[in-house]
Amino acid sequence: QVQLVESGGGLVQAGGSLRLTCAASGRTFSTYHMGWFRQAPGKEREFVAAISWRGRTTDYADYVKGRFTISRDNAKNTLYLQMNSLKPEDTAVYYCNTVDRWPSLPSDYWGQGTQVTVSS
């Protein structure tokens, strides 16, 4: 199992940007499709974006398409999520995870996540 640690969250005004980072341990990171997910208060966790194991294919939820960009650096065992034009409805805890079935079925293992708060 890949160990995952998310970071980069914070408080930002609407229209601002944040870059999330997911540091993975283990030699097998580069063999996994990876994804970002989020959970807002009182809501179920939802899919945000996914990237294939080589980074050649990406997929986005409609509500972030055109604003968020997922990327990865397999040499650094790191996954990223660049978030631009943030909206208050993007407020949530963001998690990275391996993708068991493309594009949006995550594994059962979750890290601690990183809080993103967007003020209006």
**3-state SS of 54-87?**
CCCCEEECCCCCCCEEEEEEHHHCEEEEEECCCC
Phi, psi of 29 (to 5 degrees): -50, -45
Tens of each residue's pLDDT in the chain, 120 residues = 789 999 999 999 999 999 999 999 977 899 999 999 999 999 999 999 999 999 999 999 999 999 999 999 999 999 999 999 999 999 999 999 999 999 999 998 898 999 999 999
Strand ordering across the sheet containing 68-73: 3-7, 18-25, 78-83, 68-73
Q: Which two tokens stand for residue 71?
A: 């990327």
**What whole-number distance in Å separates Cα of residue 104 and Cα of residue 60?**
9
* Residue linked to tokens 């994804």: 35
pLDDT tens for 24-59 read 997 789 999 999 999 999 999 999 999 999 999 999
pLDDT value, residue 62: 98
